[in-house]
Structure formats: C-alpha cells, structure tokens
C-alpha cells in the first residue's frame, strides 16, 4: 500500500465524551497504527460537529455564546483522546474558518449545478437526530425510535439536495463493490433504505436555527448538517471546488471511514451522493461498528450508566491507557455490538497482558540473564522452531486488518503468545539449565525472545506503550515494518541489559500496581 487515509465520525459537542465515543476512536487508532506499519503515507482525521439547534439551545440555557460552548466541549474531546493515546493527524472542528469557507463553496457549486434547489416544506423534525423523519421512521406511538420523543412539525422554506438523482448510481456502486460497506451484511439494510429515498433538506431557515454556516447570497438560510458535517472529510484535506491542495490529491479517496451503525444511512447514501455530485471518487470502505453496552445494558443518562473513558483509567489507577485500549479494541467482532464491565476488563487484561504476554517476556529475559549473563551466543541461533508460526501469524494479522477485523486480529496475537508459552512449558529451560544442557537451554530462550520481537510489533497498535517497553528490553526497533519482520532480529553478541528488565504490565490487583504502596 502506498497510502492510508482513515476518518472517524465527528462527535457532536452537546455533551462530554463517553465510552462509546472512545470505542470508535480507539478502534480507528488501532487500525491506523497498524497501517502505519505497512505504508509510508498515512493520515487519521477526527474532530467535532459544532452547529445546529441543540448547540444553540444549550448554550443559550448556559448564558454563553454557541462558540464559547463549543470551544469548551471540543477541548474535552481533545483531552480524552490525548489521555487514550489516540494519535490522530488532524482534529477538525466545523467552526474552523477553512471548513466554513469550503462548505460555502461546495453549497454554491451544487446550487449552480442544479443539484440544490429551494422548496417549501412541512415535515416531522427530531432535534435529537438533527433530521427530518417520515411517518414510516417512527414507532407505533409516533416517536423517534432513537430518542423516544415525538418529533415536532416544522414548516419552512429550505434548500434541498437532489438525492434521488444519484439513487441508481449508489445502488449500482454497492452491488458492484460488495466490500464498500463493512460488514457486508449491512449492505441489504442500506439497499432497502434506498428504495424509498427522497430529496433531503440541506438548509434551515435562520429564523429557526441561527447557529450554522450562512448560505452565500441568501441571508435567510444557514447550511444544514449534511453538507456541513459530512464535508469535513474533504475540507480537512484542503479540497476546493476550484483547485484542491496537494494533500487532498494525495490522500483522497479515504481508505476507510469508520462510523457507528446508527449513522450508516447518512454515510452510505447521503455522503456518496454529495461526492458524486462533486465528481469525486467514493471512499473505498465504510466501516459501521456496533455499540458498546455497559454490563449488557444500553448506555442511558436516565439509567446513570454513561461512563467517561478517562474515569476508567482513574478508577483502576492506570498510568498508561494500553489496557483499556486493548480491551475496547478487542471488545466486539467486526460490526457487532460489544460490552464493557469492570470485572471483565480487569480479568481480560490481567490474563492477556500481564499473565500471558508480560510474564512470558519477563521470565525469559530473566533466565537469559541468569544463565548466560544476557548474552545471545552464536550457537543459540538458526534453529528456531517457532519462526514459521510467528511469520504465519504476521500474515494472518495483516489479513484480518485488511478486512478491519480488529478483535479477530487480537485473538491471533494471543494465540501466538499461548503457543510460545506452551513451548516454554514443554521445553522447561530451567530444567535444561539444571541438567547442564546449556546450549539447548540457550536455544529455547533465544527462540522465544526472537518471537517476542514479532509479538511486540503486532501488539503495538493496541498497546503502544507496552510494545515500546517490550522493544526497549529486547533491544528491538519497534518501527520495523511488518513486511520486513524476519523473526531473526536478535543476532550473535546481542546483549540483554539486566537493569532494563521489569514487568511491562502489572496485574491490576497486584500490590505492586498500586502506586501508593
């Protein structure tokens, strides 16, 4: 691959980030970090959606301007992603000046083309969804199924986008590109929605919604969420209706756009239609992930089970976010729902990161120092019975990431860890040393450490801090590209420094893990 461009949904800043937001950002970051190990030109975009009636109302209730309110809440999202080691390339805000100007140009181009027209409209508007709903979208009681509130009847003159004009082209694209929507079982859901699609409102009367990007040449209207928010994926790169930036030309189309399943319709129907109208290529993949429940219950403010991601780090006294990142990224199969619980979190990361992987490295390094002063001798090399299994795991992990199967990739890594642990148990290097079989003992230990360099690279996207600590103790360059991994990094004379040997991750119920003790 020559380049990899990935995006997340931009988060609405009407509230603080919660564990559902964190799941998407961690999932995207893990995918992004994996592809940085495979290609040179990579880019990761995230950000915040900052216009609309909810922001206008909430800021008014607080007695501050919408921009002040957005500034405060956007920073909360930035702080959360920093705490979780989300290594984005750019954080876009829809109040950014560049975004505002380009969105106005896009709106004008589509209007001049005849794809946007003005029309009087009466419809059912859900402020929670920031969307007009039809009768068939509602429950039997006439409520929005997502917010369980009755939409209000809104009558105003708006600009509309000719979504119906691009209906057939989108259907054809989905059918001829079965991997466009990931997971593929969601494609039928989208095709069904396309059957009854109508043109969509892309502006609101300023008399009803004043907090938005003004329509050039029509002071009575502001640009509505779909042209505004969805366009961030190209405005961030410097797309221009006249001459786009070199960055845009090098990175677009996106390789994968990662969003929640609840906004798949907007990203697999509305967004492709806008791109087609702009004569731009469509993203290669739209990945719709599932939701994260809390103790098997959907998150809800009324239930009081909305969890802040940084609160988890604080509750478990974690000085690095790696355990939480690993747990969240591996919480669900591709596109399915996952679950978070404190007990499961602790049990899983203790078992995988501390007991299986961390302990394997620590005891093997300690034995090499104890029996051979940390020195890898020439006679220990060239007889690695684990090499083929390790390199096959690299291929398998790459394959899973090609299909964005992150949980499945994590399972393959842990299968390799378990395989190597069994190899240590079966060969018992401590017994070999006691019996005087020093060369065989050295071969076993060296074989394990060679594989640990591979494991460090594979676990890096999930646990960058732990992987770096593993690499430091092994004297291994964690930046080695996956295509260049040989499982033969440790060479004759390679010396392990006993002063560097320490657990890369302590069990969360260990007294040593409590910094106060």
Q: Which residues contact 263 (CB under 8 A, 6 or more apart)?
A: 9
**How would you class 502 by CB atoms within 10 Å of its CB: exposed for 0-12, middle for 13-18, buried for 19 or more?**
exposed
Rounded CA-CA distance 206/126 in Å is 17
Rounded CA-CA distance 467/472 in Å is 9
Catalytic residue among 62, 113, 119, 298: 298
Three-state SS for 113? Answer: helix
- Confirm whether 298 is a catalytic residue: yes
CA 207 to centroid of chain Cα atoms: 38
Catalytic residue among 122, 136, 243, 301: 301
241 token code pair: 């209706």
- Confirm whether 129 is a catalytic residue: yes
- Report which of 85, 21, 500 is spatially closest to residue 318, judged by C-alpha positions: 85
- Confirm whether 515 is a catalytic residue: no
- Confirm whether 70 is a catalytic residue: no
DSSP string spanning 115-137?
SEEEEEEEEEEETTTTEEE-GGG
Catalytic residue among 25, 51, 70, 144: 144
Catalytic residue among 129, 334, 463, 487: 129
- Confirm whether 352 is a catalytic residue: no
Rounded CA-CA distance 398/353 in Å is 21
492 token code pair: 């004759």
Rounded CA-CA distance 318/508 in Å is 8
| Residues shown for the chain | 517
**How would you class 162 by CB atoms within 10 Å of its CB: exposed for 0-12, middle for 13-18, buried for 19 or more?**
middle
Rounded CA-CA distance 122/201 in Å is 11
- Confirm whether 147 is a catalytic residue: yes
- Confirm whether 399 is a catalytic residue: no
301 sits in which H/E element: none
- Confirm whether 494 is a catalytic residue: no
Q: At what angle do helices 19-36 and 387-402 cross, to 10 degrees?
A: 120
Catalytic residue among 67, 113, 119, 147: 147
Query: Which residues are tagged catalytic?
Result: 18, 21, 126, 129, 144, 147, 298, 301
């Amino acid at each position: 691959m020559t380049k990899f461009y990935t995006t997340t949904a931009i988060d609405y800043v009407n509230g603080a980030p919660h564990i559902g937001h964190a799941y998407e950002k961690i999932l995207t970051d893990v995918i992004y970090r994996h592809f940085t190990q495979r290609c040179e030109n990579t880019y990761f975009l995230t950000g915040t959606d900052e216009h609309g009636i909810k922001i206008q109302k909430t800021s008014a209730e607080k007695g501050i301007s919408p921009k002040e309110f957005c500034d405060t809440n956007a920073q909360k999202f930035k702080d959360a992603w920093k705490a979780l080691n989300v290594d984005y390339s750019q954080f876009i805000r829809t109040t950014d000046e560049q975004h505002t100007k380009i969105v106005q140009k896009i709106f004008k181009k589509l209007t001049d083309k005849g794809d946007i027209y003005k029309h009087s409209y009466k419809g059912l508007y859900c402020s929670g969804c920031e969307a007009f709903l039809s009768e068939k979208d509602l429950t039997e009681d006439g409520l929005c199924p997502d917010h369980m509130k009755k939409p209000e009847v809104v009558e105003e003159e708006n600009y509309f986008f000719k979504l119906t004009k691009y209906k057939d082209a989108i259907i054809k694209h989905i059918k001829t590109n079965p991997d466009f929507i990931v997971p593929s079982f969601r494609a039928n859901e989208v095709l069904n929605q396309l059957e009854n699609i109508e043109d969509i409102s892309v502006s609101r009367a300023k008399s009803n919604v004043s907090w938005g990007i003004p329509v050039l040449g029509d002071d009575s209207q502001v640009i509505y969420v779909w042209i505004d928010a969805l366009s961030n994926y190209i405005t961030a790169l410097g797309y221009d209706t006249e001459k786009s930036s070199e960055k845009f030309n090098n990175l677009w189309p996106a390789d994968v756009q990662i969003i929640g399943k609840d906004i798949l319709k907007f990203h697999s129907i509305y967004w492709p239609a806008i791109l087609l109208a702009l004569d731009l290529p469509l993203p290669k993949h739209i990945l719709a992930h599932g939701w994260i429940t809390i103790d098997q219950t959907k998150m809800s403010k009324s239930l009081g089970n909305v969890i802040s991601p940084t609160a988890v780090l604080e509750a478990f006294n974690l000085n690095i976010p790696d355990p939480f990142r690993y747990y969240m990224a591996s919480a669900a199969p591709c596109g399915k729902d996952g679950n978070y619980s404190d007990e499961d979190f602790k049990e899983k990361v203790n078992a995988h990161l501390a007991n299986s992987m961390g302990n394997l490295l620590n005891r093997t390094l300690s034995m090499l120092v104890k029996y051979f002063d940390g020195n890898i001798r020439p006679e220990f090399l060239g007889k690695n019975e684990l090499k083929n299994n390790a390199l096959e795991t690299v291929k398998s992990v790459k394959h899973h990431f090609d299909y964005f199967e992150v949980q499945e990739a994590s399972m393959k890594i842990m299968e390799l860890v378990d395989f190597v642990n069994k190899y240590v148990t079966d060969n018992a290097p401590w017994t070999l040393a006691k019996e005087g079989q020093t060369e065989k003992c050295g071969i076993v230990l060296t074989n394990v450490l060679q594989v640990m360099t591979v494991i460090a690279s594979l676990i890096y996207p999930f646990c960058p801090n732990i992987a770096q600590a593993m690499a430091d103790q092994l004297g291994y360059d964690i930046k080695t590209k996956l295509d260049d991994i040989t499982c033969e990094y440790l060479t004759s004379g390679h010396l392990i420094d006993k002063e560097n040997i320490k657990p890369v991750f302590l069990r969360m119920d260990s007294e040593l893990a409590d910094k106060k003790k």
